[in-house]
């Protein structure tokens, strides 16, 4: 299982009225790291021929992040078979190593030419092992 990580710093724009990161930003971070992981691993040809659509998303919030916190976001694919894939995203306070949120997302693999679900090809499965 390949783990992809990204580090970010909480900005004022990430905060809500309670001065902690708004839940919407956690959801955006989940989407952003999934996209970055896909784009880093996939070839230009694969990126042109296929794309993913979100089927379901579950997120559990564990603790708050505050202004200027350094956030470590980790993602990995736990399953890829048929036309679907399951991805986990874990969001940590990098300094304290406290888990702030954990997400499980299910994605459907799509053909660019048909705009329909298509079986995940072995080349793509191997990108995340």
CATH of 4-127, one of 3.40.630.30, 3.40.50.800, 3.40.50.300, 3.10.129.10: 3.10.129.10
Question: How many Å apart are CA 32 and CA 13, to the nearest integer?
Answer: 16
Give the global pTM. Answer: 0.94
Q: Are strands 70-81 and 99-111 parallel, antiparallel or unpaired?
A: unpaired
* Predicted confidence (pLDDT) per residue in 83-107, tens digit: 999 999 999 999 999 999 999 999 9
Q: Is the pLDDT of residue 1 over 90?
A: no
pLDDT at 67 over 90: yes
Distance of CA 70 to the CA centre of its chain: 18
**Two tokens, residue 11:** 């900005």
pLDDT 10s digits, 12-27: 999 999 999 999 999 9
d(CA 54, CA 28): 13
In this prediction, residues 70-88 reach a mean pLDDT of 97
Q: How far apart are CA 33 and CA 89, in angstroms?
A: 8
CA–CA gap between residue 122 and residue 93 (Å, rounded): 35
Q: What is the mean pLDDT of residues 34-58?
A: 97
Q: For a pLDDT cut of 70, what percent of the chain falls above it?
A: 100
């Amino acid at each position: 299982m390949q783990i992809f990580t990204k580090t970010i710093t909480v900005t004022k724009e990430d905060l809500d009225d309670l001065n902690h990161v708004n839940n919407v930003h956690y959801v955006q971070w989940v989407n952003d790291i999934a996209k970055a992981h896909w784009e880093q691993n996939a070839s230009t040809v694969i990126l042109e021929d296929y794309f993913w659509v979100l089927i379901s998303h579950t997120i559990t919030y564990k603790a708050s992040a505050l202004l200027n916190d350094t956030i470590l976001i980790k993602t990995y694919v736990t399953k890829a078979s048929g036309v679907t894939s399951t991805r986990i995203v874990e969001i940590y306070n990098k300094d304290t190593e406290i888990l702030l949120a954990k997400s499980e997302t299910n994605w459907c693999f799509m053909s660019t030419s048909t705009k329909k679900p298509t079986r995940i090809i072995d080349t793509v499965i191997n990108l995340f092992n």
